[in-house]
Structure 1
Amino acid sequence: MPRILRFLRRPFVVDLRALALLRIGVAAVVLLDVAIRSTDLEAHYSNLGVLPLHVLYQYCWNPYQFSLHAASGLWQAQAVLFLLEAAGAVALLVGYHTRLATFVTWLLLVSVQNRNPLIGQGGDDLLRMLLFWALFLPWGRLYSVDARGRERPARLTYFSAATVAYIVQIALVYWCTALLKSAPEWTTEGTALYYALSLDQVLLPGGRLLYPYPGLLHWLTFATYYTELLLPFVLFIPFRVTWWRLFFVGVMYLFHLGISLTLFVGLFFLINMASVLGLLPPVVLDWLDKRLARGRQRLGPRVAARLARVRPHLARLRLPVRLRLEPGFQLTDSRRALLRHLRNAAVTVLLGYVLWWNLDSVNQPSLYMSQPLRWFGYLFRVDQHWGMFAPAVFKDDGWYILDGTTRQGQHLDLNRQGQPTTYAKPASVVALFKNDRWRKYSENYLFVSNEYMRPYYCNYLLRIWHEDPTHPPLRRLEVIYMKEVSLPDYQVSVPKRELLCGCEPQP
C-alpha cells in the first residue's frame, strides 16, 4: 500500500480491544434502557396505555417502518419482546454468538423505538446507529465467549469501511447539532445555557449551582457550541492519533458528565459516553490488559471451579444451528478477500447515504434529499436528526397539575399522589416525572400538533387511579399546564394556567 494511503487511513484504525469495550458499553446501555422502559409496559406500549395501536397507525406511523411490538396491543406480548431484547443484550454483553446477538438487539431496539415515537430522544438515534454499524464490525473478536478457544489475533489493530463509518458517525452527531444551533442565543448572545438552566423540567442540582452566574453561563454557552463544532475535527488528524484520541475521549467524558449533573437527559449522556469507547488507543488498552491479567491471576481458580459446575447446563443452551459449507465450497483467501471488498463497498454506500441525510437535515428547507429517496432510511432506521436544544432552547417552561375532582367536590392532584391541588410551584419539577421517557412524553403533550394524544393520557390516568380501591372516585380529571415562559436577564414570568384536556369516567 502506498505510504500516503497508510498515512491517511491512520485516523480510522481502531483496536480490537476498544471495539470489545464498545460492545460491552453499548450492551450495558441497552439493558438499562430495557429495564427503564419495562416499568411502563402497559402505559407506553399497550392498547390500554397512552398510545393505542390505532392511534399510532393514524398519527405517528411511517409506512416504511416496522415494529414487532406493534403486532399486539397486549402488555404481555410486549413483555415477551422485552425479555427477548434483554436476552439479546446479555448475549451481546458477554460476546456469545456476537453477530447474531447484535442483529437481534438492533432489530428489537428499532422495533420498540418505532412502537412509541412520542417518548424518543436524540440518544436513541445514536444507540440505534451504533448497533447498525456494529453489524459490520468484529467487536466480538476479544473479551467475549466467542473468543474462547481461539488464538489471540496477531494484530490488534483493525481497519475497514465500517471503522470509517463508526468514526464519521460520532463526528456527525456533534457537527450537526452545532450547525443546527442557529439561534443568536448560541452564536452571538451566549445566553443558551441560561435558558436551558431556566427550564425547571430538566434542571438538576448541579444546574442550580451554576444558574446564578451569568458570566460563567455565557462562557459555557460558547464553550459548548465550539466544542461540538470544532472538536470532532481532531478525529481526522493523521498524526499523533493516540494523543488526539485521548484528548477527544477525555473532553467528551467531561462534557457529558457535566450535562448529566446539570440537566435531566435520561440515558443520553451514558449513550454518548459508551459511543467513544471504540476510540480508545492501544496505550490505554495495554494498561487495562495488565490490570485484567492481575485480576485473572487472583480470581481465575475460583471462576474456573464455578464454571465447571455450570458448564454442563450451558452446553445444553448452545444454538443447534451451525453454518456448514458444502464440501466443494471453501473460503479461500481470494473468496475471503472478495467478501471483504463487497462488505466494504456496501458500508461505503450506506455511509454515503447517511452523510447525504445529515447534509439535508442541516439545511432548512430541505434542498438535497427528496422524499422518494427516504424510504431506505425509514426502513432500516438510519434516519437521524441531532437537534438537541436547536435551533434555540425551548422557552415554554412550566409544570403539570393533574386536577381530579371527587364526587364530594374535593380537588386532588394525581401528579402528587392525590394530595390537595395547589397551584404553587413545586420545589422540584423534575421530581414529578417517573423517568425521562415520561418527561419527553409530557414535552410532546404540549404541542398543538400532538393534540390528538391528550384524551388518551387523561383517560389512562383516570383508569389507573380507579384501579386502586383506596383512591376516592373522581367525577372529572383535568390535565393543566402551568406555563411559565423563560424570560431574559433572570426575569420571572407569572405562571399562566392552561387547560390541555378534561375527561370523565366512562359509564
Structure 2
Amino acid sequence: MLNEHPGFWGVLKRPFVLDVRALALLRMATAAVILVDLAIRSTDLEAHYANLGILPVPALMEHAWTPYQFSLHAATGLWQGEAVLFLLAAGVAGALLLGYHTRLATVASWVLLVSLQNRNTLIGQGGDDLLRMLLFWGIFLPWGRVWSYDARDKPVPERFDYFSAATVAYVVQLALLYWCTALLKNGAEWTRDGTALYYAFSLDQLLLPGGRLLYPHPDLLRFLTFGAYFTELLLPFALFIPVGVRWWRLLVVGVLFGFHLTIGLTLYVGLFFLINWASILGLLPPVALDWLTGRFSPYAPRVRRWQGRLPAWQLPWRLRLERTREPTAGGQRLARAVRDTFVAVVLAYVCLWNLDDVAVLRPAGGLLPAPVRWLGYLFRIDQHWGMFAPVVFKDDGWYIFEGTTATGKVLDLNRAGAPVRYAKPASVVALFKNDRWRKYSENYLFVDNAWMRPYYCNYLLRIWHENPAHAPLRHLSIVYMKEVSLPDYQVSKPTREVLCECELPAQSQEPGAGKKQQAEE
C-alpha cells in the first residue's frame, strides 16, 4: 500500500512536523515558567518544604509517598538546604532559557522539578503535571537547535521542519490533556444543564474580578460552559488533520490562548494558564514564525554581539549529554532508532495511563495493572487532568484561625490577629498568600487528609509565637466557615466547622516560648 502511494507517509506525518524555531520558543517559555514557579515557591521554603513546616519528611513518607518516588528535596529537613536546591534549579532553568548545554539543562531541570513536586504533593495542581511532561518530552526534542547559546557558532539550518517520535509525543500529549479533561467532566453540570461555570464562579475562594462580571448572567455562563466543554473535547482533533496544517495550528493556538486567558482573568488558578500558554508555542507554524522573525530581525545583530561577549564556558567534567564530536552515519541512525523506540514505548504507556483514567468500562485491575504502574511514579509520567471534574466542587467557604489568648481574647490569625468576626470577607481570595496555599487549604478539607491537619495547626502556633509582639495563645482552632453553593443564585447560611484544635501547655504561653521550646527539642 505504501509503495503504491509514495506520498502517503509524508501526508500522514504532516501533523507531527514541527518548526525548530517553535520548539525554541517552547523551551524558553517552559524555562521562564519554571523560574516564576521557583520564585513563588521560594517565599515558603520553611512552610512547605522544611520539617518545621506543614509537611515534615516523616509525615510525607508515611502518608504521601510511594516506594518508587525520589526527591532530593526530601533529603534535608532544613530550609537552608532547600534554598541551595532552589538556587541550583534556578541556575539550570536559566541555562535552559539561554540554551546553554541545552540537553543537560533539560534533564537537570526535569530531575529537580520532579524532586520539588514530590516533596510536597499537597500543594500541587494540574498545571504541574503539564509542566513536568513538557520537560520530559523536551529531553528528546531539538529545542536548542536554534535561538540558543549552543547554536551561536553553528550555521542556520537549511530547513526548520523536524519530525521524530518526540514530536508525535508532544502533539499527542497536548491532545490527551484536553480530551481527558473533557471526558472526565461527565456530570450533568457539563453535559446537560450547562451550570458548571455558574458553580465555579460561586466559589469565592477562586473567583477573580473577571468572574464577578460574568457571574450575574446565567445564559452567558451556560453558553460558556458548553463552549469550554466542546472546545476541550473537539479542538484537539484539529491537531491531526493532515491538510491545511498551518491554518489548523493557528486556529488551535489562537483558541487555546483566548481560552486560558479567560480562565486566568476569572478564576484564581495560579500558574495554570501560563503553563498552558507555554505548552502551545511548539505548535506555531512556519508562517507565524516567519512573521515573528521578520519583526525581530533588526535586533538580531545586537543579540549576536551580546552572545559574542559571553565567555565560552565549558563544564568542568567530561561526561555530557551533548555530542562532543560528530557521530558516524551508522551511529547516528542507531542512536535515533533507540531514542525513537524509547519515546514510542513511553508514549504508548502514557496513552494507556490516560485511557485507564477516563475509561467507563475497564477490566479488573485496570488497563495498567499495579505491577506496571511503578514506571509512571518513578519517572512522574503519571497524569490526571480532572479539572472541575466530574462536577464542580461545591463546599465553598473561608478559613478562620481562632486563637485564644491567656486573657481569653479571641483573635483571627488568618487576618493578622484581628478580632474574630464570622462575616464573609469582601475577598476570600485575598486570604491566600498564593495559589499553593489555596490548593493546600482545599486539600485540608478532605476527610482522607485529616492526618495533615495537626501539622498545620502546630505550624501556625509556632510562627505566631516567634513574634514577641504577638499575644501568647493558649488555644487555636482551625475553623472552616462552610457555605455550600446552591443552584439559581440561592445563598446558603454558613456553618462553622472546626477542623483541628491545638492546646498549648501553660509554660508555652510566654513570649518567645516557641523558639525556646524549639531550641530545647
TM-score by length of 1: 0.95
1:157 is the counterpart of 2:161: yes
Q: 1:200 aligns with which of 176, 179, 204?
A: 204
Which has the higher mean CA deviation after the structures are superposed, 470-479 or 331-340?
Answer: 331-340
1:79-115, Cα deviation, whole Å (9 max, x unpaired)? 1111111001000000000000000000000001000
1:353-390, Cα deviation, whole Å (9 max, x unpaired)? 00000000012575311111100000000000000000
CA shift, 1:504, in A, is: 2.3
In the aligned structure 1, how far is the partner of 2:299 from the partner of 2:100?
22
Paired residue for 1:383? Answer: 382
In the aligned structure 2, how far is the partner of 1:71 from the partner of 1:475?
34
Q: Which amino acid aligns with 2:176?
A: L
CA shift, 1:331, in A, is: 2.3
1:400 is the counterpart of 2:399: yes
Q: 2:122 aligns with which of 111, 115, 118?
A: 118
Q: 1:346 aligns with which of 342, 347, 359?
A: 342
CA shift, 1:174, in A, is: 0.3
Residue 40 of structure 1 aligns to a residue whose secondary structure is helix
In the aligned structure 2, how far is the partner of 1:365 from the partner of 1:92?
42
Within a 5 Å distance, the mapping from 1:464-475 to structure 2 comes to 464-475=463-474
1:26 is the counterpart of 2:30: yes
1:294 is the counterpart of 2:298: yes
1:192-213, Cα deviation, whole Å (9 max, x unpaired)? 0000000001000000000000
1:127-180, Cα deviation, whole Å (9 max, x unpaired)? 000000011000000110000101111110000000000000000000001000
Paired residue for 1:50? Answer: 54
Percent identical among aligned pairs is 67
1:416 is the counterpart of 2:415: yes
Residue 476 of structure 2 aligns to a residue whose secondary structure is strand
CA shift, 1:408, in A, is: 1.2
Paired residue for 1:431? Answer: 430
Q: Which amino acid aligns with 2:438?
A: R
Paired residue for 2:101? Answer: 97
In the aligned structure 2, how far is the partner of 1:441 from the partner of 1:262?
20
Name segments (4+ residues, structure 1) moved above 2 Å.
320-325, 363-367, 504-507
1:63 is the counterpart of 2:62: no
Q: Could you tell me whether the CA contact under 8 Å between 2:268 and 2:435 is conserved in 1?
A: yes
In the aligned structure 2, how far is the partner of 1:132 from the partner of 1:268?
18
Paired residue for 1:502? Answer: 501
Q: Could you tell me whether the CA contact under 8 Å between 1:459 and 1:505 is conserved in 2?
A: no
Q: Could you tell me whether the CA contact under 8 Å between 1:398 and 1:482 is conserved in 2?
A: yes
In the aligned structure 2, how far is the partner of 1:467 from the partner of 1:216?
50
Q: 1:227 aligns with which of 220, 224, 231?
A: 231
Paired residue for 1:136? Answer: 140
Q: Could you tell me whether the CA contact under 8 Å between 1:15 and 1:158 is conserved in 2?
A: yes
TM-score by length of 2: 0.93
Q: Could you tell me whether the CA contact under 8 Å between 1:19 and 1:138 is conserved in 2?
A: yes
Paired residue for 1:12? Answer: 16
In the aligned structure 1, how far is the partner of 2:281 from the partner of 2:19?
10
CA shift, 1:307, in A, is: 6.3
CA shift, 1:352, in A, is: 0.3
Paired residue for 2:439? Answer: 440
In the aligned structure 1, how far is the partner of 2:359 from the partner of 2:14?
31
The root-mean-square deviation of aligned C-alpha atoms, in Å, is 1.6
Q: 1:166 aligns with which of 170, 182, 187?
A: 170
CA shift, 1:296, in A, is: 2.9
CA shift, 1:396, in A, is: 0.2
